[in-house]
Amino acid sequence: MIMTKLVLFITIITLKIVLSQTQNAILTVYLNKSTTWENKELYSGFTKLNNNSTLEVDCVNLNSNISYVIFQAHSHLYNITLYNNTYVYGSYVKGTNVGLYSSIKPTIDTFFVMNSNAIDLDVYISIHGYSAKDPTPGGCNAEFSVPISPFLQTKYNKDYVLVDAAFPQDILDKNCNSLERVRVAFYQMYIYERNFSKEAYFDGIQKMMTMEYISDNGVFIPDNGLNMRRMLSAYPGTGSIYVAVAFSVANKSAYSVYVPTVSYACSPLEENGCVIFDDALSQLLCASLLFIGTFICYFGHRFFKTEMFLVGLASGGIVTFILISLIADLNRPALLGASLLCGICFGSMWLLFYWLYGIPLVSVFLATLNVGFLFSALIYHGLPGGHRALEDDANFWTLFIVLMLLTSLVLVSMTFVSNILCCSLLGAYAAVYPIDYYLGSNLKYIIINTVRRAVVPNFNHAVLSPPFEWRDSLVTLLCVGLAISGFLVQHYQNYGRPPFPPPPRSVRPVPVTIYGATVPSTERRPVTSRNSRSRVITERTALLA
Ligand SMILES: *[C@@H]1O[C@H](CO)[C@@H](O)[C@H](O)[C@H]1NC(C)=O
Ligand SMILES: *[C@@H]1O[C@H](CO)[C@@H](O)[C@H](O)[C@H]1NC(C)=O
Ligand SMILES: *[C@@H]1O[C@H](CO)[C@@H](O)[C@H](O)[C@H]1NC(C)=O
Ligand SMILES: *[C@@H]1O[C@H](CO)[C@@H](O)[C@H](O)[C@H]1NC(C)=O
Ligand SMILES: *[C@@H]1O[C@H](CO)[C@@H](O)[C@H](O)[C@H]1NC(C)=O
Ligand SMILES: *[C@@H]1O[C@H](CO)[C@@H](O)[C@H](O)[C@H]1NC(C)=O
Ligand SMILES: *[C@@H]1O[C@H](CO)[C@@H](O)[C@H](O)[C@H]1NC(C)=O
Ligand SMILES: *[C@@H]1O[C@H](CO)[C@@H](O)[C@H](O)[C@H]1NC(C)=O
């Protein structure tokens, strides 16, 4: 009795050891799921793939209507390798979202999914079956290593994401001579901002798998003149699913779906891989915007000279930033430092200009120009891509500047109210900028996209299509709330006061009462100027000489 138990025990232990040492697993799938026109998925499921192991997938075809299958495997963050039958050049593909084609004749290939990482992975496997009439995704491939490449490739840098697909093949086009027989449409879907979880990732992929889901969840990416490539503005930290669908031109109901692919536009595996302001100066500047913005939003008009300085600083800073980026290749801290210095110079000059001449209309004009810039940038940010005329830089910038000037002119025609409006709008946007940064929403890209358009080569081909999720709505609401309350508060503050504080060195005599109430008590210079008109002029002449 005891002997038998012992033997059983030892057998079980040995079996367990053998099992745990077996690195490779076999999965047999039966492709018996019924398919419809919108949903051609024959099989889907998660499989656990141990570290340093290979999964073998044997397919048993039970569906007489299909002529080829697209086998796809997805893993989160870590690369896997997919190959058919043999692991040789041209038969494997490596990445996180990979797929291969296999004809069902004579038999479906055996697929191997290899995990050469040191950790265990969850792999999502999906097999789609298509009929003989459907175009082959990636069938006329000319650039990827696998002869038939039904997958997409993404590359990114800090400014944009590139999504590439291989040409599909129409059934009537055996030699790939007439590529125009098939039309390819790209779609994208954002997953949650700053959510790098496996759940959100696989959930996103599943939502872009079949025609049915793509038409529900996908957003069309317009053609930007780059053939089988789409260029998209990068929003690091917001994952995006991309997929392409090949439609036959002759037969509207024949189509096939490429393997969806995901990009976060950054690498979540690296420490600080998804932080966009990774240097101390940027972070400091960003954080200080909260205070500066709030101040301008509520007190900008009252502290007119401070406002003049800050508006000058912002304009000078942005212009310098763009100019330096265009001519030199500096790293961001150096670029920001230089822009900040130039901004301070320009701000001081603008303040001096106001100090000397004190023409409110001209002074306010710069503030309205800033609002005009923000407005044009917002329009560009929200514009759907695919306007071929606007890909031309001359057209684009003409339109941009015209819009900016028009906004500015409309605003400047109502000087007093306009300055309060400008203060509250600019202040509100500046104040929510750091909030947006720390929350991970994407309103900061309103400005960044315009700067990218100015400095990044070929960015005219980029489709912006910015994500707009609950965090963005929150920040937008906050911004609008700040702007409205700032406007009302300033309007009330300055009610019954003269529209503009008298310029410090104005030659015009100014009554003390109004002046004392409007200008902060630190201003002493005008007292002298009020007393002797001629002295001021001599002083000014001396200054300019
Ligand atoms: C598909 O085949 C499997 C295994 O033969 C079976 O368990 C399953 O019920 C089948 N499903 C359908 C929808 O026929
Ligand atoms: C993975 O397995 C192979 C052979 O099974 C072995 O040679 C290699 O050292 C293993 N690598 C790791 C990181 O475990
Ligand atoms: C094949 O297609 C026919 C006609 O569309 C359909 O009736 C049949 O159920 C399909 N067979 C399978 C196995 O899906
Ligand atoms: C996955 O592969 C890509 C391209 O070969 C490479 O750039 C990337 O670093 C790899 N990722 C990991 C986690 O190894
Ligand atoms: C594996 O796939 C490649 C690319 O689709 C194909 O050229 C090759 O013939 C396949 N290998 C086998 C043994 O089926
Ligand atoms: C790798 O897998 C082996 C066997 O499945 C397991 O014993 C080991 O702990 C795993 N290593 C890691 C780093 O997960
Ligand atoms: C990410 O999304 C998943 C799926 O919706 C959710 O369960 C998870 O809590 C989210 N994680 C974070 C950090 O928001
Ligand atoms: C068009 O494509 C559909 C779907 O693959 C197929 O069922 C149909 O027979 C095709 N029509 C023609 C005229 O080839």
Last residue of a domain, one of 263, 294, 329: 263
Q: Are residues 374 and 431 in the same domain?
A: yes
Tell me the sheet residues that pair with 92.
Answer: 83
In sequence order, the 6+-apart residues with CB closer than 8 A to the CB of 144 are 93, 138, 151, 153, 166
Note the ligand closest to the C-alpha atom of 63.
3
> What percent of the chain has a predicted confidence (pLDDT) above 70?
88
Domain match, 186 and 254 both = yes
Kindly report, residue by residue over 399-409, the tens digit of the pLDDT.
999 999 999 99
Please identify, by atom number, the ligand 1 atom nearest to the C-alpha of residue 30.
Answer: 2
pLDDT band of residue 260 (cuts 50, 70, 90) is very high
1 pLDDT band (50/70/90 cuts)? Answer: low
- Residue 436 belongs to a domain: yes
Query: Is residue 513 in a domain?
Result: no
- Burial tier of 405 (Cβ tally within 10 Å: 0-12, 13-18, 19+): middle
The per-residue pLDDT for 494 is 83
Is 536 a residue whose pLDDT tops 80?
A: no
Q: Which amino acid, one-letter code, is at 501?
A: P
pLDDT for 521 equals: 38
The Cβ-side half-sphere exposure at 139, using a 13 Å CA radius, reads 29
- Paired with 31 in beta bridges are 61
Ligand 6 centroid – CA 20 distance (Å): 9
273 falls within a domain: no
- Is the same domain home to 130 and 242? yes
The residues with which 112 forms a beta bridge, in sequence order, are 56, 83
Looking at the structure, tell me whether residues 244 and 353 fall in a common domain: no
Residue 1 counted as domain residue: no
Q: Which ligand is nearest to the CA of 28?
A: 1
**Domain stops at, among 263, 297, 318:** 263
- Flag whether 135 is in a domain: yes
At residue 539 the predicted structure's pLDDT band, cuts being 50, 70 and 90, is very low
**Are 208 and 320 members of one domain?**
no
**Candidate ranges 30-34, 254-258, 351-355; pick with highest mean pLDDT:** 254-258
- The first and second tokens of residue 96, run together, are 């996180």
Q: Are residues 354 and 393 in the same domain?
A: yes
- Listed residues 471, 493, 515: the one ending a domain: 493
**Residue 18 tokens, joined:** 């053998």
- Ligand 6 site, residue 392, Cβ cutoff 6 A: no
Do residues 284 and 259 both lie within one domain? no
**3-state secondary structure at position 185:** strand
Asked if the structure places residue 507 within a domain, the reply is no
- Which tokens in the block code for residue 527? 């007292």
Average pLDDT value for residue range 22-33: 81
Do the strands 25-31 and 53-61 form a parallel or antiparallel pair, or are they unpaired?
parallel
Average pLDDT over residues 15-28: 61
**Confidence band (pLDDT; 50, 70, 90) for 3?**
low
SS3 520: coil
Range(s) of the domain holding residue 249: 24-263
Distance CA 438, CA 133 (A): 51
Cα(179) to centroid(ligand 8), Å: 19
Number of domains in the chain: 2
| Nearest bound ligand to the CA of residue 121 | 6
Residue 105 and residue 189 in one domain: yes
Lowest mean pLDDT among 19-28, 141-150, 249-258, 266-275: 19-28
HEC sequence for 429-464: HHHHHHHHHHHCCCCCHHHHHHHHHHHCCCHHHCEC
d(CA 405, CA 298): 25
CA distance 303 to 261: 52
What pLDDT does residue 537 have?
A: 38
What does R_g of the chain's alpha carbons equal in angstroms?
31
Better pLDDT: 510 or 422: 422
Strand partners, 54: 114
Instruction: Among 131, 182, 248, 252, name the best residue to mutate to test ligand 8's pocket (greatest count of ligand atoms within 8 A of Cβ).
Output: 131
Q: Does ligand 6 lie within 6 Å of residue 20's CB atom?
A: yes
Protein residue with its CA nearest to atom 3 in ligand 3: 65
- pLDDT above 50: residue 201: yes
* Residue that wins the pLDDT comparison between 215 and 34: 215
Query: In ligand 8, which atom is closest to the CA atom of 130?
Result: 5
The sign one gets for the Cα dihedral 399, 402, 405, 411 is negative
Q: Which residues contact 33 (CB under 8 A, 6 or more apart)?
A: 41, 42, 43
Average pLDDT on 395-421 reads: 91
For the stretch 285-315, pLDDT in tens is 999 999 999 999 999 888 988 999 999 999 9
Average pLDDT over residues 465-481: 94
Is residue 421 a contact partner of residue 367, using CB atoms and an 8 Å limit?
A: no
Q: List pLDDT tens digits, range 96-152.
A: 999 999 998 888 889 999 999 999 999 999 999 999 999 999 999 888 889 999 999
Q: Please indicate, yes or no, whether residues 122 and 206 belong to a single structural domain of this protein.
A: yes
Q: Does 416 reside within a domain?
A: yes
Q: Which of 210-224, 351-365, 415-429 has the lowest mean pLDDT?
A: 351-365
Q: How far apart are CA 295 and CA 298, in angstroms?
A: 5
pLDDT of residue 504: 65
Confidence of residue 324 (pLDDT cuts 50, 70, 90): very high
> Do 206 and 128 belong to one domain?
yes
Q: How far apart (Å, rounded) are the C-alpha atoms in residues 454 and 326?
A: 8
Protein residues whose CB sits closer than 6 Å to any atom of ligand 4: 78-79, 94-95, 269
Note whether 248 and 326 are same-domain residues: no
The rounded mean pLDDT for the chain is 85
Give pLDDT, residue 523.
Answer: 40
Q: Enumerate residues lining ligand 2, CB below 6 A.
A: 23, 52, 118
Does residue 417 belong to any structural domain of this protein? yes
Report the residue count for the chain.
545
pLDDT band for position 522 (50/70/90)?
Answer: very low
Beta carbon of 65 within 6 Å of any ligand 3 atom: yes
pLDDT classification of 361: cutoffs 50, 70, 90: confident
209 and 112 within one domain: yes
pLDDT at 496: 78
